[in-house]
Structure 1
Amino acid sequence: MSTGNPEASAAVGVYRSLVPAGLRRRIARRVPPRLRMVLKHVLRRLHVFSLAPRLFRGVRARRRWPHLFGEGERLAALAGHGDRIALVRPTVSPLGLREANLELVVTALEEAGIDYFAIRGASDFRSCLAVSEADRDRVGRALERCAGHSPVYLRACRGETPQGRAALAGSRPGRQLARHAAVLRVGMVWSDPTGTLVLGLEHSCDIEFWRPEDGRLVAPRPNRVTEDVSPHEARVTVPVSRLTGFAALHTRRTRSVRTLQACADPLPEDVRFPVDVVYTWVDGNDPAWQQRRSVYGGGYHTESANAARYISRDELRYS
C-alpha cells in the first residue's frame, strides 16, 4: 500500500541539494533499490511527524494572538527556523523589517517614558538604542507589553556576536534575557506567503544597557562614535537616515529618533548625497602604483592579475 510519494520528502530534497550528483550515483549503485525505497519512506514519515510540533505552535499562536488572524494579517509557524512564529507579509525586505523593528522598540520605550538615545552601531543593517542600566526592569516590562500584540523575539549578544537561542519576549527564557543581557537583540520575524524568504534578528533593533560609572554612562560594546557619555548629555531629534546609510532616503519619509549630537554629525565615511556612478580606474603605467601592487604578489589567478587589466587606454576621456 502506498503512503504517498517518498520523493517529495523534504529530507530527500535536502540530501539531493547537499550531496553532489556523482556521489549520489555511486551511493545508489552500492545500496539495493529495495533498501533505498525503505529509507525514503522512513524519511517521509519523519517529515510528517515533524509537522506535529509545527501545528501545535500554530494553535498556540492563534490562541495568544487571535487579532493577527483577521483580514490582512497572518502568522506562520516556521519549520526548520528555530521554532519561530513569523508575521506573514506580502512583501519582505531587510530595510522594511529594520524600520519596523525600530518603530516597535522606540514606540515601546517612549510610551513607557524610558529615556533612550540612538547610537551609530557597527552594522547599518540593525538599529541600536542605548538606555541606562537603571531602566532595565522598565525595559523588560515594555517588551512584554509588545509581545502581547505580536511575536517579538529577544537574543543576548556579546559584542556583535549573538549568544544562545532567541526567545519570545514575555516567556520565561525571554524574561531571563531581559534581566541579564548587556546587549539585547529585539525584533520580529517576517516571512513571505510561501515561507521561502524568512528574515529575522539580523535586522533587529539592539538595546544596549549602558552602566553608570564615575558619573558617566559607559557602553557595553564599541560603537562608531563614543564609549561613554554624561547622563545629562543633550538629546537631538533627527531622521534615522542621519545615523545609517541603510535607510529610505527618496522613496518615503523615515522615522525620527532621539540621539546625541555627536551621532547626528557626519562621519568621514558618510555619503550624504546621491551616487549616480562609481567608476573604478587605475593607470597601470604609474610607477608608484606598480610598486604598491608588487607587495601583494601575483593575485588570485594569472588571468585576473595580468597587466592587460591595468593598461590605461584613456577610458575616462572617452566615456
Structure 2
Amino acid sequence: MQNYLEFEKGLSEIEGKAEELRALARKNTEMKVEDEAAALDVKASALLDELYRNLDPWRKCQVARHPDRPHCKDYIEGLFSEWTPLAGDRNFADDLAVMGGLARFNDRAVVVLGLEKGNDTKSRIERNFGMARPEGYRKAIRLMDLADRLGLPVVTLVDTPGAYPGKGAEERGQAEAIARSTEKCLQLGVPLVSVIIGEGGSGGAVAFATADRLAMLEHSIYSVISPEGCASILWKDAEKMKEAAEALRLTAQDLLALGVVDRVVPEPRGGAQRNKGEAVARVGAVLADLLADLEGKKPAELRKARRRKYLDMGTKALVA
C-alpha cells in the first residue's frame, strides 16, 4: 500500500478512486469502468509530475524522510555481493544503527558503512531510527582502519536525522566519537565515496560523509540541524520549519551550487519511494563513476586533495 505525504493528498484521492473502480469491477465483471479508471490514471500521472517538478525545501524534507524510500540495507542488498557484516566497536557494544562490513562492488573488494533506519516498527526501534550512538561511530572508525590496512575503498551510505542525543550516549563520549570518525575520514589513504540517500543530519552525517566524493539523491537533504530544531532555536516555534528549511539551504541542488556536494543523483519519477529498484541502480551507476575517478591515486595524494576540498569549502559566493 502506497504511503502518501501531506502534499500528495490530491494524488491520493485520485489514485484511490481509480483503485476503487477497479476493485468494484473485479467483484462484478459486468461493470465497464476501465475507461473511467484510465482517465483517472492520466490525471494522477499529470498531477504527480506537477507536484515533483519544483519541490520546495520543506517538501523535499518530507520526501527525504518518506518511510518507503530505499534504506541502507536495500542498497547493500541491491548493489553489493559477498556482503560480510562486521559487528561491534571492540569496546562497548554493537550499534545496529550502523551497518558495516566487507563486500564486492562490481567485483571489487570494498568496505561498506551505512546508517540504517529500519522499515517497520520493530526494526526502527532496533536500529534506533538511524541515530548512531558512540559505539556506532567507533565501529565505523574500526572498519575504516581495516579498509586502510587492506587498501580497500570505503563506501558510505548516509541516512540519519542526526546522532543519538540521549544521556547514555553523552556519557560514553558522543561528541568525541563523532569528531574522531570525521578525523578518520580525513586521514584515510584509500578512496572514500559517500552518498546521502535520505537525511544527512548534523555531525551524525558528517562523521560518515567527509569524503573524497559526495553525492546526494535528488530529493535528499543535508544540513547542520533539522528544520524543526532550527525553527525552535531561531523563532522559538517549531511550526516555522518551512521558513527554516528555506534558510538552511539543505537541498541537493543548493548544496551542489555551493560546492558542498559533487553529484546529484536523479530520482525516479515521483521520488525513490515509487521505484526502489531504479533508485538503487542509479546510485550504483554514480558510485561506479566516482570510484573510477579516484582509481590509482596514491594515499598522500588522496589525503592532500581531501583536506584541500574541505578547507576550500565555503569560499563560493552564496547564490541569491
Provide TM-score, normalisation by structure 1.
0.24
Q: Which has the higher contact order (CA 8 A, sep 6+)?
A: 2
Provide TM-score, normalisation by structure 2.
0.24
Structure whose residues are more often helix by fraction: 2
Structure whose residues are more often strand by fraction: 1
